[in-house]
A and B are shown apart, each in its own frame.
Chain A
Amino acid sequence: MSALPYAVWLVFIFAAVIASSWLLSAYLFAVYTGRKGRLDRLFDPIDNFIYKVIRADPSKQMTGGEYFLALLGFSALAAALCFIILVAQGYLPLNPQHFPGLAWDLALHTALSFATNTDLQHYAGETTLSYFSQAAAIQFLQFASAAIGMCVAVAVFRGFSGKFSGIGNFYYDFVRSITRILLPASLVAAIVLVALGLPQSLGGYVTANTIGGGAQTLDIGPVASLVSIMQLGTNGGGYYGANSASPYQNPSPLTNWLEIGLMLLIETSMPFLFGRMVGNKREGHMLLIAAYAIYGINLVVAFVNLAPFGPGIEARLGAFSSIVWTVTATSTMTGSLNAALSAFNPVVIIAALMGMFIQAAPGGIGGGVMYLLMYVVIAVFIVGLMAGRTPEYLGAKILPNDVKRAVIAFVSHPILILIPLALAFSTGAAAVAGAGSIPNGFTKVLYEFTSAAANNGSDFLGTAGNTLFFNISTSIVVLLGRFIPMAVMLAIADSMLKRTRSSQGGGLRTDNLLFAGILVVSILILVVLTFLPFIILGPVLSLLQGYNGI
């Protein structure tokens, strides 16, 4: 079959996403720079009321350290609330199925995983969580962690830009992210999704007497409201264990492609926002082009081998849509799945792993563009040396400290993946989860920690990962994988804020296609150098052995 219509289709989808994101970015710019607009009459009283209740002064500029501590403290407390809800679920309302509270380690893993925008799930929601938990614990953290990602991105933008007096105030950014962006967008998306077939009910599961004579439980609940924020906020933790393969989460091709668009929407608008905030839209365009180029490369990798798949593809979605979804969900740090990973040719797994190794193509909400800037610092540094000038980005000199911090952020990723990976196999913990061998088990465990370290949440172990070892190890990994890079990037932003800006007289431009190309190549080389042996021991080995089922 010709590949052309499929390529045209993808171009159409991406064009639609990019156009929407471009429109959205103008609104985001107004939200984060406090530019007055017509909607202020609606939102200002709400925001001011919240500032008053939480006793925050939204006009106070924070240092990078203060900003980080505020978001860290908030994340910890939000995770604690979630942990309490999950453990005490049996005593809480809206639990028509009478699910008991979760074991402490699963509750801890779930709370930390959702608080860090990871959403690894070692449970199946429809048989584990009450309506109250799905809403007050899961949906709450999905909003909160997405908003934090956006806040950090914006704070980093302000620092890099050099056009702002400070990197901002966490409470101001957070409240506005929630009230002006995430809540309205999720509300609209949720209603549309309901219209397209997603359930939204608090009335309890429905028992049906089937035509064939059996009994069937229709596990409906507040699904649409969760799915909208889960995709928009690149969370990925689903209502059901089968996640987006479940027909209630993703009933048709239409919802499938709409949800792909939702995953990409906000993170695609972030580079546009960056361009606006640094005062040169082209800078943002180049970041976006670099991100989408890598995303495109991941997609191509996923399709280089079209050999037959194993079972695990939903017939209504088809292989093509499932592969695009999987690559998108892993490239955006959403991590939701609409097919079984074991159904895929190993090349799809390679593409998915690449997305999670890179974390910036286009990456998770806020986080993706933050990682992109981390790569920019490293790439600009090497480029500057090669061109015979002390490296500069946006007119600011790249100092040894910036390189040090960017390297810390970059190095933390392989450490967080490889050390627990080796631990899992040397302690035998991997075997317990039914994954003890090369290459299939190896791929699954590599995938698990990669997903955790990237705060992606795409899951190859599923409920098999519900062991003490995996719950605790991935909890640690998601925390460090989330907060080390944020701390480091906020520190870079903080130090760049007041740095003298040159007029970029003879420097290398970073707002042209050449730089976007250099960025792409640098990212790919860095990532390949770091992870190649492990890709070889996993999916490549499967490929060479004829991939008899991962």
Chain B
Amino acid sequence: MESKKTATGETCAVKANGGKRALPLKHVLSESVLRMNPARLISNPVIFIVEVMFFIVAIMAIAPGLIPAVSSPSQQMFYVYVAIILLFTVWFSTLSDSIAEAQIKATADGLKQIEHEVKARRMDPDRKVTVVSSKALKKDDIVLIQKGDYIPIDCVVLEGIAMVDESLLTGESAPVRKAPTDVLIGGSVLVSDSLIARISADPGDTYLSKLISMVESTKRPKTPNEAAISTLLLGFTAIFTIIIVSILWLSVSLSLGADLSVLIALYVCLLPTTIGALLPAIGISGIRRMSIDRIIAKSGKAIETAGDTDVVLLDKTGTITLGSRTATEFIPLGGHSAKEMGEASFMSSWYDDTPEGRSIIALAYSLGFVPKEFHSISRAEAMEFSAVTRTSSVRLGRPNVFMLPKGGKGMLQRSRISKKYQTGKSSDDLNISKGAPDAIAQSARALPEGFDEKVSGISSAGETAMAVAVDGEIIGLIRLKDQLKQGIKAKIEAVKVMGIKPIMITGDQPLTAKSIASEVGIEEFVSKAKPETKIEVVKREQAAGRIVAMVGDGTNDAPALAAADAGLAMGSGTIAAKEAANMVDLESDPSKIIQVIMLGKQLLMTRGAITTFSISNDVAKYFAIVPVMFSALPVLGRVNVLGLPPSVTVLAALIFNALIIPALIPLATRGVRLKPRSTMSIFLKNMVTYGVGGVILPFIGIEAIGLLIKAL
């Protein structure tokens, strides 16, 4: 896993709390013992069989002469040892389950803290306010939320505009502006103004609590691959059962002198106990690791599917770029000076509250292009951006005495200025308009020299040009640059290395889109995207037999999120999007889809690696035990590669078999290490580590344990 980016200190603390909370040791221990109840174990057939074998050997230990053909009283102590080791084998398995579940419980508790009980101001229909506990609220109640209040439960804004801090939920430190019809998530904090909102869910039924209960639920259906592994393990169990029964049968018929306890030891060693014991823990831990990253998966299958992704749809804005274009240069044209151009831009942007607009003011300010007319600006008439003309403009009138606040950050205060401030029109009014070059060009009297070349030059560099005209004369261009998100290039590279095709979706012009795409290394992109483009791309890729992952936040995205194989909704997005997606990122970081894909792969690999390891182990265990199994066939001792006495070999193999379970618990809960590599090299690395290693390790382990036993 890549190291996670950290947000604010506050958020970090909560995360650490959720992820690394100390486990309740006592509870884990008692739970692990309780789980050894055969009735509870039966859901894990392999471990259940081990427990049955324990009971058989325990009986042999108590009454060693009971079945004379396959046991002998002189071996009583040996039976006691075997029984004890078998019991530990079962316990190690239940322990790993208990640890995994305790960990996920701790994670869920951490998430739940967000939504604690608070006081809420309930409003009667006659607008009378009563303070009640948030637990007492019901769906459709109206609440008043004032500055500093926690949002009691999920609700929808009815009146007012205010800033809400959702950092606890999303990790995004900047407060979010909320206006009527926006959704408020329980647990976030109102940091300005006040709102009246309608409760959209009953307590305990909020979106967050539903998600958290999903995390906690241990009765998750098996994912397809878990089901397939279980089948494979059952197949191996069947084979080894037949083998052991046949050997027992033959040994009795042919007087080969195999002891039942030794056969049971071989049986338990051969059974895929390692993967059998750890399989439940791997799945639980996967969901937990997602939760630590603040991603809630609605099912284990969703994570698994994400791991299979062939194509990932990435929004340019918000995922690849920061989402706000920044002005970087004023390009004067037609003989105008940079200062003229900068001042005109300044004024044209005064009422432009978009990030672009702010960045233009900031650039002009930093270059000292503050126009002398700016004191008349408060009387200016603003024509907001029109979709028809694709321009915005200001019409300046008489001078005014408005002053910019000191400190150079005056533009941040502009939102306080009423945009409705009107001035009377007069003939000496100055009309400054700003907009897309082609739109401005349409209304311009003439095009300055080099206009088209400059515009296309900017576009092909992946940047955006904006033209500025004063009274219909184009005086220059503003160069706006898309800011790439930090680390996005590396993430896209990782995606590509894993054989996944990223497709960038953007509303930009093809040239701009192409430039951004090639800057981050994306070959395929869809430009001039419309809201329905995403679903079209999802369907198209699926029709070509590919597994598609995508991120979405708006209601527009809901159909595509539902259609995509792996859909990750942003926690800050609409409920519709969150319901359509099969995963939700509370931190609302769209590039986390890549983390989800990695985690899906990691889960499969962890299962595959431990399965392979388990099966590879069997080869060594066979070669250890079979040569010493038949007391009537001492000649087989010639192939006893370990050279240990029979009883020592059997005990050593059993102990190795038991110890490998707790030894692998960290691997199961943490997952196999995964670096972004090609599928092939991931496979080869795992095959060598867990396949070849799985054959060699037991030889060394059994020999070492055997020598230790002998020394004792």
Instruction: List residues of chain A with CB under 8 Å of any chain B CB.
Output: 378, 381-390, 395, 398-400, 402-404, 407-408, 410-411, 414-415, 418-419, 421-422, 425-426, 437-438, 442, 500-503, 505-509, 514, 518, 525, 528-530, 532-534, 536-537, 540-541, 544-545
Question: Which residue of B is nearest A536, CB measured?
Answer: B626
Q: Judge whether B304 and A411 touch: CB under 8 Å.
A: no
In the complex, whether B686 has a CB less than 8 A from a CB of chain A is yes
C-alpha spacing A381/B245, complex, angstroms: 28
Q: Which residue, of B224, B246, B309, B619, has the highest number of chain A Cβ atoms within 10 A?
A: B246
Q: List 13 A-B contacts (CB under 8 A).
A: A383-B683, A385-B609, A387-B683, A388-B605, A388-B682, A399-B224, A400-B225, A422-B245, A425-B253, A502-B545, A508-B679, A533-B247, A537-B256
What chain A residues lie within 8 Å of B310 (beta carbons)? 502-503, 505-506
CA distance A411 to B690 in the complex (A): 24
In the complex, are the beta carbons of A390 and B308 less than 8 A apart?
yes
Among the 9-residue stretches B404-412, B467-475, B633-641, B651-659, the one with 4 or more Cβ atoms under 8 Å from chain A is B633-641
Q: Is the CB of A385 within 8 A of B607?
A: yes
Q: How far is the CA of A482 from the CA of B499 in the complex (A)?
A: 41
Chain B positions within 8 Å of A508 at CB level: 679-680, 683
How far is A318 from B167 in the complex, measured between Cα atoms in Å? 85
| Inter-chain contacts of A536 with B (CB < 8 A) | 626-627, 636, 639
Contact A407 B686 (CB under 8 A): no
A502 to B308, CA, bound (A): 11
Residue of B nearest to A392 (CB): B308
The 8 closest A-B pairs by CB, nearest first: A385-B608, A506-B499, A388-B601, A407-B235, A505-B310, A387-B683, A422-B249, A502-B545
How many B residues, CB 8 Å from partner?
A: 72
- Given A411-B238, A508-B680, A544-B636 in contact, is the A388-B227 Cβ separation under 8 Å? no
- The distance from the CB of A421 to the nearest CB of chain B, in whole angstroms, is 7
* Smallest Cβ-Cβ distance to B500: which chain A residue: A506
Contact A419 B246 (CB under 8 A): yes
Residues of A within 8 A of B246 (CB): 418-419, 421-422, 534
A381 to B608, CA, bound (A): 9
At the interface, yes or no: B622 with Cβ under 8 Å from chain A?
yes
Contact A544 B304 (CB under 8 A): no
Within 8 Å CB of B238, what residues of A?
411, 415
Which residues of A sit under 8 angstroms from B311, Cβ to Cβ? 505
Q: Report the Cα distance A503→B224, complex, angstroms.
A: 21
Cα A532 to Cα B239 with chains together (Å): 12
- Pair B546/A385 contact, Cβ less than 8 Å: no
Rounded to whole angstroms, the CA-CA distance of A533 and B604 in the bound complex is: 32
A375 CB to closest chain B CB (Å) equals: 13
List chain A residues, Cβ under 8 A from B691.
386
Cβ B679 vs Cβ A395 within 8 A:
no
Alpha-carbon separation in the docked complex, A506 to B601 (Å): 12
Q: Which one, B250, B270, B305, B545, contacts A395 given CB within 8 A?
A: B545
Other than the given A407-B234, A533-B247, A544-B638, 17 more pairs (CB < 8 A) read: A382-B232, A383-B683, A386-B687, A387-B608, A390-B304, A390-B305, A390-B604, A407-B232, A411-B242, A422-B249, A425-B249, A426-B249, A438-B256, A438-B633, A442-B250, A505-B546, A528-B619
Contacts A386-B608, A387-B686, A533-B243; is A422 near B250 (CB within 8 Å)? yes
Given contacts A425-B254, A505-B500, contact A399 B228 (CB under 8 A): yes
Interface string of B593-610 (1 = CB under 8 A from A): 000000011101101110
Contact residues in A for B626 (Cβ distance below 8 Å): 532-533, 536
Q: In the assembled complex, how far is the CB of residue A539 from the closest CB belonging to chain B, in whole angstroms?
A: 13
Chain B residues whose CB sits within 8 angstroms of the CB of A395 once the complex forms: 545
Interface contact B680-A418, CB-CB below 8 Å:
no
Contact pick for A385, options B229, B242, B247, CB 8 Å: B229
Instruction: Kindly list chain A residues whose C-beta atoms are within 8 Å of the C-beta of B224.
Output: 390, 399-400
Residue B618, interface by CB 8 Å: yes
Secondary structure of the A side of the interface? helix
B547 contacts the other chain (CB 8 A): yes
- Select A426's contact among B252, B501, B630, B690, beta carbons within 8 Å: B252
Residues B686 and A386 in contact, CB atoms below 8 Å apart: yes
Residues on the A chain within 8 Å of B546, using CB: 502-503, 505
B250 in contact with A529 (CB, 8 Å): no
Which of A382, A403, A407, A529 is close to B608, meaning CB atoms less than 8 Å apart?
A382
Q: Which residues of B from 201 to 255 have beta carbons under 8 Å from A? A: 224-225, 227-229, 231-232, 234-235, 238-239, 242-243, 245-247, 249-250, 252-254
| A385-B229, A390-B307 known; A529+B547 contact, CB < 8 A | no
A379 CB → nearest B CB, Å? 11
The residue among B235, B544, B684 with the most chain A CB atoms within 10 A of its own CB is B235
B317 at interface, CB cutoff 8 A: no
**B679, chain A: closest CB distance, angstroms:** 5
Q: Which of these, A381, A386, A415, A530, contacts B228 with CB under 8 Å?
A: A381
When distances are taken between beta carbons in the complex, the residues of chain B under 8 Å from A540 are 639
Which residues of A have CB within 8 Å of B307?
Answer: 388-390
CB pair B605–A425 under 8 Å, yes or no, is: no
Inter-subunit contact B635/A544 (CB<8 Å) = yes
B513: A residues at CB distance < 8 A: none
Residues of chain A within 8 A (CB-CB) of B253 are 422, 425-426
Select the residue from A386, A399, A422, A507 with max chain B CB neighbours within 10 A.
Answer: A386
Interface centre among B252, B310, B602 (most CB of A within 10 A): B310
Decide yes or no whether B580 CB sits under 8 A from chain A: no
A508 to B684, CA, bound (A): 11
- Residue-wise interface mask of B (483-505) relative to A, using a CB-CB cutoff of 8 A (1 in contact, 0 not): 00000000000000011110000
B611 interface residue (CB < 8 Å to A): yes
Quote the shortest CB–CB distance from B278 to chain A (angstroms). 14
Q: Annotate B620-634 by CB proximity to A: 1 below 8 A, 0 otherwise.
A: 001000110110010
Q: Which residues of A contact B232 (CB under 8 A)?
A: 378, 381-382, 403, 407
**CB within 8 A of B679: which of A507, A518, A525?**
A507
Cβ contact of A388, chosen from B501, B544, B638, B679, cutoff 8 A: B679
What B residues does A534 contact at CB under 8 A? 246
Q: Which residue of A lies closest to B609 (CB)?
A: A386
Over the window 662-686 of chain B, the binary record of Cβ atoms lying under 8 Å from chain A Cβ atoms (1 yes, 0 no) is 0000000000001000011011101
Evaluate contact between A544 and B256: CB separation under 8 angstroms: no
Give every chain A residue within 8 A of B256 (Cβ-Cβ): 438, 537
B-chain residues with CB within 8 Å of residue A422 when the two chains form the complex: 245-246, 249-250, 253
Closest to A530 in B: B239
Would you call B234 and A386 a contact (CB within 8 A)?
A: no
Most buried by A among B238, B252, B616, B674: B238
Do the beta carbons of A529 and B235 come within 8 Å of each other? no
Residue of A nearest to B222 (CB): A400
Which of B225, B305, B309, B546 has the most chain A CB atoms closer than 10 A to its own CB? B225
Collect the chain B residues with CB atoms within 8 Å of residue A399's CB: 224, 228
How long is the Cα–Cα vector from A444 to B283 in the complex, in angstroms?
Answer: 47
Least Cβ–Cβ distance between A480 and chain B, in angstroms = 14
B612 at the interface (CB under 8 A from A): yes
Q: Which residues of A sit under 8 angstroms from B633, Cβ to Cβ?
A: 438, 537, 541
- B residues less than 8 Å from A381 (CB atoms): 228, 232
Q: Nearest CB to that of A545 among chain B residues?
A: B635
Please tell me if B615 contacts chain A, counting CB pairs below 8 Å: yes
Report the Cα distance A398→B224, complex, angstroms. 10
Closest to A403 in B: B228
How many Å lie between the Cα of A400 and that of B229 in the bound state? 8
Give the residue of B227, B604, B674 whose beta carbon is less than 8 angstroms from that of A389: B604
Which residue of chain A has its CB nearest to the CB of B687? A386
CA distance A426 to B247 in the complex (A): 11
| CB-based contact B308/A389 at 8 Å | yes
Residues of A contacting B501 in the complex (Cβ-Cβ under 8 angstroms)? 505
A residues within 8 A CB of B611? Answer: 382, 385
A407 surroundings in chain B (CB, below 8 A): 231-232, 234-235
Q: What residue of chain B has the Cβ atom nearest to residue A528's Cβ?
A: B619
Can you list, as one digit per residue, whether each of B533-562 has a CB less than 8 Å from chain A (1) or not (0)?
A: 000000000001111000000000000000
Q: Which of B119-149 contact A (CB under 8 A)?
A: none
Q: Is the CB of B622 within 8 A of A403?
A: no
- Which A residue sits closest to B690, measured CB to CB? A386
